[in-house]
Chains A and B, each alone.
Chain A
Amino acid sequence: MTEGYRARDEPAVVVSGLAKSYGRVRAVDGVSFEVREGEIFGIIGENGSGKTTTVECLQGLRDRDAGDVRVLNLDPGTQRDALRHRIGCQLQESALPERLRVWEALDLFAALSPRSREWRQLVEEWGLAEKRSSAFADLSGGQRQRLFVALALVNDPEVVFLDEMTTGLDPAGRRAAWDLVREVRSRGTTIVLVTHFMDEAEELCDRIAVFKRGRIVAIDTPSALVARFAAHSTVHFSYDGDDLPWLSSCPGAASVRREGARFTVTGDGPLLAHVAAALIAHGIAPLDLRVERATLEQAFLGISELAGSSR
């Protein structure tokens, strides 16, 4: 079989037992996962949990200590050069020469690759048109970040690695970046997205691996992670009368808290419906009754606690 050739439906990335230490720090400690072709695969976890080290090993930027890694059926450790032109890399930490201009960077990087996208189009897409003749040193944090993502895409990669892509972007910039990432995927590119923003992972990723201390502690779709680790929902309303002891006997309610006039009921199941029914039955109809959907953020905290306590 030719190296780098993949059968249909073969995963774009296969990692098994990956390990990497820096001196005595075990940064990555036996990590295994697969990324399917055309998928947006998320890697989340607190700072220092080994996310960057993992993707750097996949990009051939670090030599692993142990484990097997295949990206597009190539080994990034030994077949770096063959892989290089087929992947796109946005690194968490990197820079360009201070006086290098935006268009020069894109032009240079495009020239390095046998295949490349028209960089003028990338400049437009990533909102850098006005800045195309600006020096790297004169760009804002968000503009630099967008330039780095554009550079990661300029060789028209089959797999692109984005490490903390939206750091430094303002809220509008983040949303715009999310749309662009979805568009990149719709052209068939596989995306590995490292982030510590839970909303970003929940919004974009098809599946997510949760890292903790160099290991994967959970891996699933965002909705499955939420269902498994943050099943409870929270109902909020305001009422400034007496305490409501009967609330805790609503079906599914696990706890009731009161701070001043603000009540918070947590529990499982169709909690909002039961709480609403009980309130109406007692002649209370708060204007601000609402349910807070469980988020990936809560699931993440739940996973972290579980993983922490098992050690």
Chain B
Amino acid sequence: MKGVRKLAWVEVKLFVREPFALVVAFAFPFFMLFVLVGVFGNEVETTDPEAMRVWRGVGPSDFYVSTYVGLVVASAGLLTLPLRLAGYREAGVLRRYRAAGLSVTVVLGAQVLVCAGMAVAGAVGIVTTSTLVYGTALPADWALTVIAAAIGVAAFSSIGLFLGAVLPTARAVQGTGLALFFAMMMLSGSGPPRGVLTDSMRRFSDLLPLTHLNLLLQDAWLGFGWATTDALITVGFLAGSAVLAVRFFRWE
């Protein structure tokens, strides 16, 4: 346990020492926030039933803010974590860690802790910005929102560990992570609302973990309750990728 904490703390310090990585980690969610919330404002549409459906009966800014928490989580899990893991393997850091007696659980556990820390920092940043700049609503149900976010962090860090474990090189990880991230950013409800997607886009979007995390977060945030199906699907992604990550983990 001492090992995980120490390693996680070291990893956090390393992360903070690379300002560029921090910028990359949080650039997209903030960018989306400024563009989309800036464009759509926060007027609740009450006359047009189609608009009511698309925006789920709330103002666009309130609709979006929870999905940017989802995007922060996805960004930490898809862009940052696997790149670090694969980079460490490529450079020989994992060899060195292994010889020092670090176990797979400790190495992966430390990465998950860092990912969680990043997600918390990013979420606080985005919610604060959004509340102060655009006056968006804070979560209606804090407890459910925090649980949803925690499940999301666990799921996306597992997906990140899986990518970092199976892909052969850091370059492959970077390419794949970016492709997945952009697909999710555009189709999981953080960009165009799901209500305006075509049928085929929506079917594809149903396969993406961020879609379900966003719905889970959004329901909790807006006080719509607990989205059990989306929660189960997210946990399914979590469990599946965690098992595969441990199964395919390589030290070199």
Mark contacts of B89-116 with chain A using CB atoms, 8 A cut-off: 1 yes-contact digit, 0 otherwise.
Answer: 0011101101111100000000000000
Asked if A99 contacts B101 (CB within 8 A), the reply is no
A113 to B14, CA, bound (A): 22
Within 87-103 of A, Cβ neighbours of B (below 8 Å) are at 89, 91, 93-97, 99-100
Residues of B within 8 A of A104 (CB): 10, 13
Asked if A112 contacts B101 (CB within 8 A), the reply is yes
If A104-B13, A108-B10 touch, does A96 touch B99 (CB 8 Å cutoff)? no
A107 to B6, CA, bound (A): 9
A147 to B146, CA, bound (A): 43
The answer to whether the Cβ of A59 comes within 8 Å of any Cβ in the partner chain is yes
Residue of A91, A93, A95, A104 with most chain B CB atoms under a 10 A cut-off:
A95
The one of B7, B91, B93, B101 in contact with A81, judged by C-beta atoms closer than 8 angstroms, is B101
The answer to whether the Cβ of A178 comes within 8 Å of any Cβ in the partner chain is no
Asked if A95 contacts B14 (CB within 8 A), the reply is no
Q: Give how many B residues have a beta carbon under 8 Å from the other chain's beta carbons.
A: 20
Within 39-96 of A, Cβ neighbours of B (below 8 Å) are at 59, 61, 81, 84-85, 89, 91, 93-96
A93 to B89, CA, bound (A): 12
Residues of A within 8 A of B6 (CB): 107-108, 111-112
A113 to B100, CA, bound (A): 8
Residues of B within 8 A of A81 (CB): 101
The answer to whether the Cβ of B175 comes within 8 Å of any Cβ in the partner chain is no
Please report whether the interface of chain A is mostly helix, strand, loop or mixed according to DSSP.
loop
Closest to B5 in A: A111
The answer to whether the Cβ of A109 comes within 8 Å of any Cβ in the partner chain is yes
Asked if B2 contacts A94 (CB within 8 A), the reply is no
Least distance between A115 CB and chain B CB atoms (Å): 12
The answer to whether the Cβ of A151 comes within 8 Å of any Cβ in the partner chain is yes
Tell me the B residues contacting A by CB distance below 8 Å.
2-3, 6-7, 10, 13-14, 17-18, 88, 91-93, 95-96, 98-102
Contacts beyond the supplied A97-B10, A109-B100: 19 A-B pairs with Cβ under 8 Å: A61-B95, A61-B99, A84-B101, A91-B96, A93-B92, A94-B99, A95-B93, A97-B88, A99-B14, A99-B18, A100-B10, A104-B13, A108-B10, A112-B100, A112-B101, A113-B100, A135-B17, A151-B96, A151-B100
A to B CB contacts below 8 Å, 30 in the list:
A59-B99, A61-B95, A61-B98, A84-B101, A89-B99, A91-B95, A91-B96, A94-B92, A94-B93, A94-B99, A97-B14, A97-B88, A97-B93, A104-B10, A104-B13, A108-B6, A108-B10, A109-B100, A111-B2, A111-B6, A112-B3, A112-B100, A112-B101, A112-B102, A113-B100, A113-B101, A135-B17, A148-B96, A151-B96, A155-B100
